Amino acid sequence: MKRAIFPGSFDPITLGHEDIVQRADDLFDEIIVAVGNNTDKKYMFSTQERLAFIEATFKNYPKVKVMSFEGLTIDFAKKINAGYILRGLRNPADFEFEKAIAQTNRKLSGIETVFLLTASGKSYISSSIVRDVYRHGGDISALIPESVVKMILK
């Protein structure tokens, strides 16, 4: 059973995240989208909201599950028997940052990180830009999944 976790803040989930999961769906038997809950971090959306947005996004993807976690990603991966960590790469800055983390994680746990390159046309999308646009009353509908637009703008 090839089980991967896709860890992140997902504050909120964007079309960039959705694309990575959709493309990884063929590669794994199960993908757990793992919503990080770091007590030191301030989120715009609560853990419950972030989980609900992701559940709505992947409601037609039977292999995709959503969970929240605290602490080290590798500890959570081991706890749920996931052999792979899935991450997306947008640009060289992502690569440099992710490289050190992936190497550390493999050293500490043996867990492999699998990277998918961002889709052309989606590399500029980030949760922080979505939050900024939303905070200032702009239109976020071209940046996040349609079902999430409905939930946020209800």
Binding site residues, ligand ADP, CB under 6 A:
8-10, 14, 16-17, 20, 87-88, 90, 94, 118, 122-123, 125-127
Which tokens is 20 given?
A: 């990575």
Which tokens is 12 given?
A: 């909120």
Contact present, 133 and 139 (Cβ < 8 Å):
yes
CB of 94 to ligand ADP, least distance (A): 5
Q: Toward ligand ADP, which CB reaches closer, 10 or 76?
A: 10
User: Is the C-alpha dihedral spanning 30, 33, 4, 124 positive or negative?
Assistant: positive
Q: Write down the residue that tokens 């509908």 correspond to.
A: 141
**CA 148 → CA 26, 63, 109, distances in Å?**
23, 20, 35
CB of 41 to ligand ADP, least distance (A): 9
Q: Write down the residue that tokens 């992140």 correspond to.
A: 8
Annotated active-site residue 41? The verdict is yes
Q: Toward ligand ADP, which CB reaches closer, 44 or 80?
A: 44
CB of 14 to ligand ADP, least distance (A): 6
Annotated active-site residue 127? The verdict is yes
Q: Toward ligand ADP, which CB reaches closer, 9 or 105?
A: 9
According to DSSP, the residues that pair with 33 across neighbouring strands are: 6, 66
DSSP-assigned letter for residue 40: T
Of 90, 106, 122, 131, which is the active-site residue?
90
Q: Toward ligand ADP, which CB reaches closer, 37 or 147?
A: 37
Of 9, 50, 87, 127, which is the active-site residue?
127
Nearest to 133 by CA among 104, 112, 153, 113: 153
Annotated active-site residue 90? The verdict is yes
CB of 102 to ligand ADP, least distance (A): 10
Q: What are the residue numbers of the active site?
A: 17, 41, 90, 127
